[in-house]
Amino acid sequence: MVFKTKEIQQMKFSKWDELNYYVELEKESLVLVPLEDFFDNNSIFCNDEFFGRNGEWVNFNEYGLMAFFRLINIPPYIINNLSKEGLASNVLNTFLREPSIRSKLKNYQFVINLHTMTVSGIVSNSYMPYSNHSFLKDLSLVFPDMMAEYSIEESYMVNSSLYLRLLSPNYKAGIITKDKNQAEDISRIGIQLTNGMTGRNAIKASYFVYRLIYSNGLILPCSEVRGIVVHSGKKETFRNRISKNILPVIEKVSDIPEKIETLGSISFDLEKLAEIDGAKFVYDIIPLDYVDIKKREKLRGKEKIDFDKEKLEEYINKYSLEHSRRVFHTLFRDNQSMFDFVNIFTEYAKTQKPREKTKIEEKTGEFSSWVLKNKKQFC
C-alpha cells in the first residue's frame, strides 16, 4: 500500500486583489514546528498516513513526504512498493529509532498548514521564514515603479511557492513570418518572480515571455546575472539583498526582445537538432518513458541520431495543439522556426495544472537559452 498523501494545493490568480487576499490568509495558516517537538512527544507513523501521538497528528502532501524521505535517505520506491497495510509505517518507525537519524532530524522543522495539519515541506532550523505576503510587500517597497507600471499576468501558487508574472508596458518582441494569413505575432516581455516557503525555493527572478497570438508563456533563465536570494542570513539585510540581486535582472529585461526575435530567425531543422544532441534538452521538457530512456542509453552515433529524429517527430505529432498544428502540419508553410518549435511545448503546457505547467514552461525556457547559445550550429 502506498503511503497516503494529501493533494498538493495549486492555485492561479489573474488579479492583484485575489492574490493579495490569498497571501494574507496563507501568512496566518503556515507555521514552522521543530521536529524535536514531535520526538519529545514520542511521535510515530500510523495507518500509513499520519505522524504524531496523543491526538496531535499531522499528515503529508507529496512534497512534504518526499522531503522527509530525502532527509532519512530512504528511496521512495521502498515505501511505495510495500503491499501490506501498516508496513510502511513500521518501516518508517524503524528508521526513526536510529539515533543518528533522530539526531539529524532535530536540526529541521516541519512546514505545516494549520487548517489541514498537512506537512508541505521541511526546512532547517537556520531557515529564515519569509512569507509570500512579506515578499509582495517588499517588492512594492524595493521596486515601486515596477510594481505600479507592470501588469499582473496569470500567476500561480503551487504548494506555497508563488510564481508571480508581471508584464512590462514597454517591451515587446515581434516575429516576422511569410504567412499572409497569420496575424501579427507579438510577444510581451516581463519578469517572473518566485518565492517558496517550504525550503526548496529561494527568491528567484526569470524573464517571462507571453506570446499574444497563442497566449503561451515562456520562462527564460537569467544567464548574465544571478537573480537569486536564499532564505538565510540576517532579516534586516534581506530587503537589501533583494534589491541587489533582482534589480540587475529587471534592468536587462530590455535585452529579451532581441533574444526572442533571434529565436524566431533560427530555422527549425529536425535533423540538425538531433545531430547536435539537442533532443536531450527536449526530453527534459517532457521525459521519455522508462523503456525509451534505457534504449537510448545503449545507442551511439547514427543509431542515436535516428532514434532522436524519430522521437522528435513523434513529439511534434503528439504535443502540437491547435496553433502549433497550423504551423507544423500545413502545406502552406515550410519556414518553421525554433520559436515555433518551443511553442509546441508552451502551448501544450496550457493543458496542464499549475505544477506541471510552470515546470514545462521553465524547462522550455532552458532549452530556448541553449538554442540561442548554440545558434551557429543550426546554420
Rounded to an integer, the average pLDDT of 334-340 is 89
- In this predicted structure, what is the pLDDT of residue 183? 55
The pLDDT score that the predictor gives to residue 128 is: 85
Average pLDDT over residues 36-54: 95
Interval 228-252 mean pLDDT: 88
Dmax (CA) for the chain in angstroms is 72
- Cα distances (angstroms) measured from residue 142 to each of 21, 153, 324: 21, 20, 40
Query: Per the structure block, which three cell numbers stand in for 199?
Result: 525550503
Given this model, what pLDDT does residue 223 score?
A: 73
CB hemisphere CA count around 241 (13 angstroms): 16
Q: Which residues lie closer than 8 Å to 276 by C-beta, 6 or more apart? A: 374, 377, 378
Is 178 a residue whose pLDDT tops 50?
no
d(CA 82, CA 67): 19
**pTM exceeds 0.85 for this model:** yes
Q: What is the pLDDT of residues 94-129, one digit of tens each?
A: 999 999 999 999 999 999 999 999 999 999 998 888
pLDDT reported for residue 94: 95
332, pLDDT greater than 60: no
Q: How far apart are CA 256 and CA 211, in angstroms?
A: 13
Look at residues 82, 69, 229, 210 and name the one whose alpha carbon lies nearest to residue 152.
Answer: 210
The answer to whether 150 touches 167, Cβ cutoff 8 Å, is yes
How far is it, in rounded angstroms, from Cα 296 to Cα 304? 7
Question: Whole-angstrom Cα distance, residue 75 to residue 62?
Answer: 14
Write the pLDDT tens digit of every residue in 358-379: 999 999 999 999 999 999 998 7
CA dihedral 375, 246, 196, 159 (to 10 degrees): -50
Task: Give the three-class secondary structure for 138.
Answer: helix
User: Would you place residue 284 in the very low, low, confident or very high pLDDT band (cuts 50, 70, 90)?
Assistant: very high
Spacing of C-alpha 275 from chain mean position:
29
Judged against a pLDDT cut of 80, whether residue 184 lies above it is answered with no
Q: How many other β-carbons are positioned within 10 Å of the β-carbon of residue 177? A: 18
For the ranges 76-85, 173-182, 229-238, the lowest mean pLDDT is seen at 173-182
pLDDT band at 81 (very low <50, low <70, confident <90, very high): confident
Distance between CA atoms of 22 and 16, rounded to whole angstroms?
A: 10
Residue 262, pLDDT > 80, answer yes
Q: pLDDT-derived band of residue 52, with 50, 70 and 90 as boundaries?
A: very high
pLDDT given at position 13: 96
- Confidence tier at 333 by pLDDT (50, 70, 90): low
The answer to whether 293 and 231 have CB atoms below 8 angstroms apart is no
Lowest mean pLDDT among 98-107, 205-214, 324-333: 324-333
Which segments of 155-202 are extended strands (E)?
Answer: 155-158, 161-175, 185-195
Confidence of residue 197 (pLDDT cuts 50, 70, 90): confident
pLDDT at 187 over 70: yes
Query: What's residue 152's pLDDT?
Result: 95
As a whole-number percent, the residues of the chain with pLDDT over 70 amount to 95
Contact 132, 160 (CB under 8 A): yes
Backbone angles phi, psi at 211, to 5 degrees: -80, 110
Cα(74)–Cα(309) distance, rounded to whole angstroms? 38
- Rounded mean pLDDT of 33-60? 96
Query: Taking 60 as the threshold, does the pLDDT of residue 182 lie above it?
Result: no
192 pLDDT higher than 60: yes
Q: How many CA atoms lie within 13 A of 164 on its CB side?
A: 26
C-alpha closest to that of 175 among 272, 259, 269: 259
Lowest-confidence region among 25-39, 265-279, 316-330:
316-330
Q: What is the mean predicted confidence (pLDDT) over 199-219?
A: 87
Q: What is the pLDDT of residue 227?
A: 87
Pairing of strands 56-60, 108-113: unpaired
Residue 87: band (very low, low, confident or very high) from pLDDT cuts 50, 70, 90: very high
Please, are residues 94 and 45 in contact by the beta-carbon 8 Å criterion? no
DSSP state of 325: H
How does pLDDT run across 128-138, given as a tens digit for each residue?
888 999 999 99
Domain borders along the chain are 27-124, 132-254, 263-378
pLDDT of residue 129: 86
Alpha helices by DSSP H, the chain: 16-29, 35-40, 62-71, 76-80, 87-96, 99-105, 132-142, 144-149, 238-251, 256-265, 270-275, 279-285, 290-297, 301-319, 322-328, 338-349, 354-373
pLDDT at 222 over 90: no
As a whole number of angstroms, the distance between CA 180 and CA 356 comes to 35
According to the model, what pLDDT value does residue 199 have? 66
